Amino acid sequence: MTSQKLETKKTSKKARATRKSKKAKASNAAPRKLKEEELAFLENLRKPKSAESKTKVGRITLNELFGTELPIANNTSLNAFGNPFYLDPIQILQMQILLNQKSQMHGYCYNPSMFLPDMPLPTTRLTPAGVGMLDPEYEAKLARNNYNQKSNSVNGSGYEVESHNDIMNRFFPKLNQEHFKCNDIKLDCFNSLHNKMNRGSHATRGNSNHISHHQKNPQFKHGQQSPGSNPFTRNSGNKNVLKKSFFTPYITQDQVARGLKSKQLVSGIIRVNQKNYEESYIDNPEGDDQIDVLILGLHDRNRALHGDNVIVKYKDRMNWVIRENLYQSWREGKLGNVLDDDGQPISIPPVTEINLPKSEMDDLLDFMPSAFRSHIDKIDESKMDVDFSSTSYSRVELLNIAAKMQLELKKQNSDGKVLCHLCKDACTAVRKLQLSRVQHDDNEECDVVESPGLRRTNVISSRRATFRTLNDMPAEDWGIPDICLQKTAEVVYITEEHHTRMAVGQLKPLSDGNKNYALFSPADPRMPRMMIPSDQLPDKFFEAPGDFAKFIFVAKLIEWNEKSQFARGKLYRPIGLSTEVDSQIKGILMSNGVEFKDFTPNSMSSLKYLTGDEFVITPKDLEVRRDYRSEKAISIDPRNSKDIDDLIHIKSLENIDGNGANGYEVGVHIADVTYFLQSKSELDEWAQRRGESLYLTGKTIPMLPDILSEELCGLIKGRDRFAISVVWKITEEGEVIDEWIGKTVVNSKGQLCYEDVNTLYENSEVDDEDIMNVKDELFKFKDLYAKLNRKRREAGYLYLPKPKIVFTLAENTSVPVSVSMERGGVAKEMVSEFMTMANCSVAKRLEADYPKLAILRRQAKPKQKILQDTIDFCHKLGYDIDASSPKSIADFLDSLLNDPKSRNTIYPVLTQLLSKPMQVAQYVCSGLTMNEEECKHYALNTSLYTHFTAPIRRYTDIMAHRLLSASLGHCKISDLAPRQMEIICKNSNEKRLSARTCMEACDELYLGYIIKEFGKLEQVGVVIGVLDQAFEVYLPKLGITKRVYTNRLRLSRDPIYENTPVPQLTLVWHPVFLDNPSPNNDNEKCQDGEEISSRTGQQGLEQVIKIFSLVRCVFSPIGEPFKYQTAILPTNDADIPAMVDELNSDSLL
């Protein structure tokens, strides 16, 4: 038995050796010479095509499609799988190149039955224009066929590789390999073409086909997708099928650490554009002289939300965004501020490439249908960084395949055999198909010309703005300097989730009828839609979903993994009807993480006193405090303010400097909250968590309970209260001679408001006893304020005011009934001046005594890149601004403010523009700053600044009081560390931002309600930005900016946009629309202005929109509650004086 096995093995070895020997001899044999007809056929390929252009509309006959009537296929014809396609030769060539692997192509003889060996076919028909059409008959046949079996081979003509080499050498001269690299870039697009041809077919193929295809193609490495497979195929019968990923998985923390160390990754806080949620930004880590890094689209944002601290990875340079203005300057040779390595300006425009003659590859690609060829033509041949992987074909290999196939097709035609399988449905499936073959010279550009007879369409532009990347530009522009590009990046990790993940919105059923989940649609477009499980939904939601559409719900984002298009959320509860103001306000507070529940009894258990009457000042208290109760200390606050935490007093002094100079004693007294609020108590934790009080119209969310803010700590009139005071001795010229900081006892002699004090300054007399009792002191304050402010302006500080509107509510309701402008006037500025002095004095004391723990208020320098762009833009408008210091900017704005012609037009616009590069002030701990520069406040132009004057409404002020009390020897803070202070600073920064967001959202809500009640609201605005289909308008009296879209205006034709250094937009109003420029419905909006003009014989009014143009805006309500749209009324030059007068007036309505 053993000997027989040995003999069998020896015999098999000999047989294998014999076969190898024969194969080697065959490979060394001389190549077969080509026949005459083969040579003639290939020679014909190189002839130029006819320049005739034919266009046919309607059904295409087989004769027109293939050039001949073709017989019906049989079982031995091209498609052995019963394929009902109709394919012309060029489409067969495409499928061969795209779907066959190199190893398969060289392993078979090319005969009629082997055109598609083991190749998964698309489930859509391919029309001559490349359009896919579903075929139900083929779906049924597909279920009966086995794609895992290879078709039976048929003996063919036996072309060898050497024979093909002879063909290539004869007809296509050999070129060096480097030339192939330049041209083979077109091969990269074949994979994408294959995906387009097979799109929609993967969903019908079983997963087993995907696995077997990889097994039959060992050429593919692990994880590599073969052309006929889809790793994300869904199959209900197989639980192990992979699910498609919508987002890129996050990297690990180790990868983050290594990437940050190697500077391949950068960290930053992401900011999502409120108007376009597909645009996000982070600060450029290379410095504020660089433009922000752009994150485009939801995929690159990768589940990060506004305010999160993220790790991003730069995209490659070809995906950076073109900065159009600088790009145009570079093209025109006007960008001369950057030099290359040789010291030459890089603004030299690019040299146009030489137009090379068409290659044989181009001739071959011209056979392709236009739908596929258009994608290939977009790929430039001169791109060098080509990935030559095993799944790509070189130029020679493609021509090898083409030559073999064309010879076989020629032979088939001569033998009378069929080219493809045809069926009646396939021949008649194309309806109203328009074929257009346009021949044009390669050196000419092909422009799409719009038909002049088309009427104006009112299609709202897509949400995502149009950006051009470097990859979209011609190769001659790839040498563009980096200054003309904006870096793009993608989020790869989220380090801190600062966003609350809370959202308000409405519930909707899923469109596919799935009752396991409902869709939560947030009101904030920056938040993702969430899937809510059915067990959290209200009862009978699916029975009558329309009944719940009028309610507002609150939900929180729980999970959002990379395989889910929608996030998974948790539904909390409905908060009311969407038409109610209270419900909307609650939604705003909850979505911004504002805690507004009442203080619990346990939280207030640490208080020594529960009422103001229980608190009595003892003689022992006066031993450690100065007594200022006899001074005429007063408070000046907004009307109806309840949180009175500051008093000021002033009295005249003689010989304050010892040299006979007269002056004043000025005191700023701040409520001593820390005397009552114990550190690390439960109430202190509540206050720290809330961060600061939130003041809305008619509603206050306090940081501290009323017992503290109004009774124990509030500096109300006629009550003795504890305070921490800063007292100066100042000369009549505004020179500070002496300063004292300590704990005091005060008693308010007057509780005044800004409006009444301003009235006194304007009229010298008011009918108010409290004001008249301190009249002399008020005028002393005014005179001293003017001198102190002048000295501070000479030193340099920048003030960028923003108008604020005030709403009046109906009694005992939250419904607004009127709106007006807030008038702080001199009184508010005066109080602010003395508060700033106190904050500066305390900051210096804290930094001197506690250099590692001082809590400071810092504002970094403006973002230099944005500031420079703003300065350049203003220069184009005719205004030269020196932005070298806060003082220079302030001097320029003061010149506009003092000019009556620009006070209410140019000044507010430029103030708004200059506010954009300014960075938000932040709380920082001095012990964690690197140098003195990181402690400065840019706008105030001070080296040290803190917040000390509002401890009732800001927790950072409480911490400043504790440090100051320790500095004065009243307590100890040995348990505090810089990191703890940093946590407090971060939380306060976040809460301050949330408070500002809530106030702006509530003002917008109230304004929407007023517009709904009045029907329409008209305001004069100033244009601050011009786009091709819209323009930005700043409303000086409202302090808001709105965008006006031209497709919402009743124009007779499309606007004319001129993209000049100072862009402008020309609107043409039709007389029919002049009285009502904003359409009421889509039918009116889509009326053809040209037709109406010809019918009425009237001419339209032309209006030019450019920067600083005055326009009359109209706010009108829309269907959604509290929402409104912005349009403009037609105006001309004669209307400008009246609009200027309206801006100069104090009235708002």
Residues 759-816: tens digit of each pLDDT: 999 887 788 888 889 999 999 999 999 999 999 999 889 998 888 888 888 888 888 8
CA angle, 362 as apex, 358 and 366 as ends, to 5°? 125
C-alpha Rg value of the chain to the nearest Å: 39
pLDDT of 668-713, one tens digit each?
Answer: 999 999 999 999 899 999 999 999 999 998 889 999 999 999 889 9
Give the CATH number of the domain where residue 1029 resides.
Answer: 2.40.50.140
Decide if pLDDT at 853 tops 80: yes
Q: What pLDDT score does 1022 carry? A: 92
Q: Residue 1133 carries which side chain, given as an amino acid letter?
A: D
Same domain, 537 and 400: no
Share of residues in the chain with pLDDT > 70 (%): 64
Q: What pLDDT score does 1014 carry? A: 82
Decide if pLDDT at 243 tops 80: no
At residue 654, φ and ψ (nearest 5 deg) are -115, 145
Q: What pLDDT score does 975 carry? A: 77
Q: What pLDDT score does 903 carry? A: 85
Same domain, 478 and 506: no
The mean pLDDT value of the chain amounts to: 74
Look up the pTM and report it. Answer: 0.68
Q: What pLDDT score does 668 carry? A: 97
Give the CATH number of the domain where residue 509 resides.
Answer: 2.40.50.700
pLDDT band at 1037 (very low <50, low <70, confident <90, very high): confident
Same domain, 96 and 219: yes
At residue 559, φ and ψ (nearest 5 deg) are -150, 145
pLDDT band at 337 (very low <50, low <70, confident <90, very high): low
* Between 235 and 398, residue with greater pLDDT: 398
Same domain, 469 and 385: no
Decide if pLDDT at 30 tops 80: no
Specify whether the CB–CB gap between 668 and 834 falls below 8 A. Answer: yes
pLDDT band at 446 (very low <50, low <70, confident <90, very high): very low
Distance of CA 103 to the CA centre of its chain: 46
CA dihedral 887, 892, 896, 897 (to 10 degrees): 0
Q: What pLDDT score does 216 carry? A: 36
pLDDT band at 640 (very low <50, low <70, confident <90, very high): confident
* Between 368 and 669, residue with greater pLDDT: 669
Q: What pLDDT score does 809 carry? A: 87
Assigned domain for 831 exists: yes
* Between 554 and 86, residue with greater pLDDT: 554
pLDDT of 41-93, one tens digit each?
Answer: 555 544 444 434 333 333 334 444 444 444 443 444 333 333 334 444 444 55
Shortest CA distance to 217 belongs to which of 228, 207, 208, 206?
A: 228
Average pLDDT over residues 387-408: 56
Number of domains forming the structure of the chain: 5
Same domain, 950 and 1064: no
pLDDT of 882-927, one tens digit each?
Answer: 999 999 999 999 999 988 888 888 898 899 889 989 999 999 999 8
Average pLDDT over residues 1036-1040: 86
Assigned domain for 144 exists: yes
Decide if pLDDT at 651 tops 70: yes
Q: What pLDDT score does 475 carry? A: 85
Assigned domain for 173 exists: yes
Q: What pLDDT score does 702 carry? A: 94
437 — alpha (psi -120 to 50), left (phi > 0) or beta?
beta
Average pLDDT over residues 554-568: 91
Assigned domain for 212 exists: yes
CA dihedral 966, 967, 970, 972 (to 10 degrees): 30
Same domain, 638 and 553: no
Q: What pLDDT score does 503 carry? A: 92
pLDDT band at 570 (very low <50, low <70, confident <90, very high): very high
CA dihedral 500, 504, 509, 515 (to 10 degrees): 50
**For residue 402, what are its two tokens?**
């083409």
Task: Return all residues near 153 (Cβ < 8 A) that are at least 6 apart.
Answer: 108, 109, 113, 114
Same domain, 524 and 642: no
Q: What pLDDT score does 769 carry? A: 84
Range of the domain at 235: 81-242+362-417
Same domain, 373 and 230: yes
Assigned domain for 235 exists: yes
Decide if pLDDT at 826 tops 70: yes
Decide if pLDDT at 348 tops 90: no
DSSP string, 267-281: EEE-EE-SS-TTEEE
Which among 8-17, 344-353, 377-386, 590-599 has the top mean pLDDT? 590-599
Q: What pLDDT score does 346 carry? A: 52
Q: What pLDDT score does 943 carry? A: 93
pLDDT of 724-748, one tens digit each?
Answer: 999 999 999 999 999 999 999 999 9
Q: Quick count: other Cβ atoms within 10 Å of Cβ 272?
A: 22
Same domain, 399 and 517: no
pLDDT band at 1093 (very low <50, low <70, confident <90, very high): very low
Q: What pLDDT score does 1040 carry? A: 87
Shortest CA distance to 597 belongs to which of 751, 509, 671, 701?
A: 701
Shortest CA distance to 803 belongs to which of 604, 640, 1003, 633?
A: 1003
Decide if pLDDT at 316 tops 70: yes
Assigned domain for 620 exists: yes
Decide if pLDDT at 424 tops 80: no
Same domain, 957 and 835: yes
Assigned domain for 428 exists: no
Q: What pLDDT score does 675 carry? A: 93
Same domain, 368 and 346: no
Decide if pLDDT at 509 tops 90: yes
C-alpha distances out from residue 467 to 84, 301, 331, Å: 43, 16, 18
Same domain, 731 and 813: yes
Specify whether the CB–CB gap between 73 and 422 falls below 8 A. Answer: yes
C-alpha distances out from residue 749 to 33, 647, 664, 671, Å: 116, 10, 19, 15
Assigned domain for 435 exists: no
Q: What pLDDT score does 520 carry? A: 94
Q: What pLDDT score does 409 carry? A: 61
Specify whether the CB–CB gap between 946 and 954 falls below 8 A. Answer: no
